[in-house]
Amino acid sequence: MKNLRPVGVIGAGKYVPERILDNAELEKMVETNDEWIVSRTGIRERHIAAPEQATSDLAYEASIKALASAGIKPEELDLIIVATITPDTSFPSTACILQDKLGAKKAAAFDLSAACSGFVYSLAAATGFIQNGMYNNALVIGADTLSRITDYTDRNTCVLFGDGAGAVVLGEVPQGRGFQSFDLGAEGAGGDQLKLPAGGSRLPASAETVDAKQHFIYMNGRDVFKFAVRVMGTATEEVLRKAEMTKDDIDLFIPHQANIRIIQSAMQRLNLSEDRVMINVDKYANTSAASIPLALVEAYEQGRIKEGDRVVMVGFGGGLTWGGAALIW
Ligand code: UT7
């Protein structure tokens, strides 16, 4: 991306709902235990949206913080992209609902569906719009309310997911900074491993689909695990190669927060010590599109990202998809 207008993060904010569902409470809901959940996933608790909160409400809270930190007013925004698989409604898009809530009157707005890779896909899309001069800024949000599509009687999945939102404002940054490379990919052939079976045009909602619990996440955990371990390694290596960086250049690695064992296998392959990796899966669980921005914003708030730091983010998920980005902060 040399010789292009440099685009980077100029503001960031996050939001998680107040209610915490911890492993002890899950023990009362399904046949599970804290020891199993922590040792197999690293998750201790997750945040769950209140009944009246939808994805756009989570996105709104994260967005106003990101806009304030960027010093940009909603009416100055050119573009809003919401990465989500749990939109408020199929249409209008969550981005349009958010545009209205924010009063971002001149902003174009659309949702992007790439599951847990959605935030990185959206960063790449927004960066392209700004690099080519079509827009000067963009609000990019990863927001999901997975609790609405989680079956809390299925121990295989209900311990894994949480709700949240993270937002960044992208804009022009000084030369030598900003996004250095992206690596986006998909293996559609693996789509059936992780999906929401009903509610779309293939299988519209009906009494039968509700009875068959087809409006909840279906996941083949073991196959997705193998895919995740593989692409976390390959996508990181590819994004580093494109950015002309090496593993040693990484100041902070921000992986999708799905399972501590997947993160640890990437750390081993990339030879990264814990002080160079952001981990918060213990507090928020897997929040899909919100996972990477929640980790990015939290790392920034904790002072773990400073000007000039080389940050690498890598996500993977439904599709199946993956997305990596290398950024000089
Ligand atoms: O962002 C989307 C991407 N998704 C992911 O990254 C998920 C990737 N996959 C995983 O993280 C792991 O595969 C899981 C955490 C989902 C499962 O861990 P695992 O080590 O692969 O366990 P398993 O599926 O091999 O199951 C082991 C056993 C099974 O019992 P049997 O059949 O061996 O008797 C499960 O029934 O653990 C059992 N089990 C549980 N036990 C207690 C499954 N869930 C639970 C539970 N509590 N919550």
Query: Structural domain boundaries of the chain?
Result: 7-176, 179-328
Cα separation values, 205 from 101, 209, 319, Å: 29, 6, 21
Mean pLDDT score, 100-107: 98
d(CA 93, CA 113): 11
For residue 246, give the amino acid letter. Answer: T
pLDDT above 70: residue 2: no
Contacts of 312 (CB under 8 A, 6+ apart): 236, 239, 240, 245, 250, 252, 253, 254, 324, 325, 326, 327
Pick the CATH number of 179-328 from 3.40.47.10, 3.40.630.10, 3.30.70.260, 3.40.640.10: 3.40.47.10
pTM: 0.97
158 is catalytic: no
286 is catalytic: yes
Q: What is the pLDDT of residues 124-183, one digit of tens each?
A: 999 999 999 999 999 999 999 999 999 999 999 999 999 999 999 999 999 999 999 999
d(CA 230, CA 123): 22
Question: Dmax of the chain from CA atoms?
Answer: 57
Ligand 1, CB within 6 Å, residue ranges? 32, 36-37, 40-41, 116, 155-156, 159, 221-222, 224-225, 228, 258-259, 262, 286, 317
**Is 30 within 8 Å of 158 (Cβ atoms)?**
yes
Mutate to test the pocket of ligand 1, among 21, 34, 40, 259 (most ligand atoms within 8 A of CB): 40
Q: What is the pLDDT of residues 241-278, one digit of tens each?
A: 999 999 999 999 999 999 999 999 999 999 999 999 99
Catalytic residue among 23, 116, 137, 158: 116
Mean pLDDT score, 61-88: 98
Give the Cα-Cα-Cα angle 207, 157, 325 (nearest 5 degrees).
110
d(CA 226, CA 315): 14
Q: What is the pLDDT of residues 167-215, one digit of tens each?
A: 999 999 999 999 999 999 999 999 999 999 999 999 999 999 999 999 9
Q: What is the pLDDT of residues 10-37, one digit of tens each?
A: 999 999 999 999 999 999 999 999 999 9
256 is catalytic: yes
Q: How far does the centroid of ligand 1 lie from the alpha carbon of residue 231, in Å?
A: 19
Q: What is the pLDDT of residue 3?
A: 75
* CATH number of the 7-176 domain: 3.40.47.10
- The mean pLDDT value of the chain amounts to 97
Nearest CA to ligand 1 atom 18: 40
Q: What is the pLDDT of residue 55?
A: 98
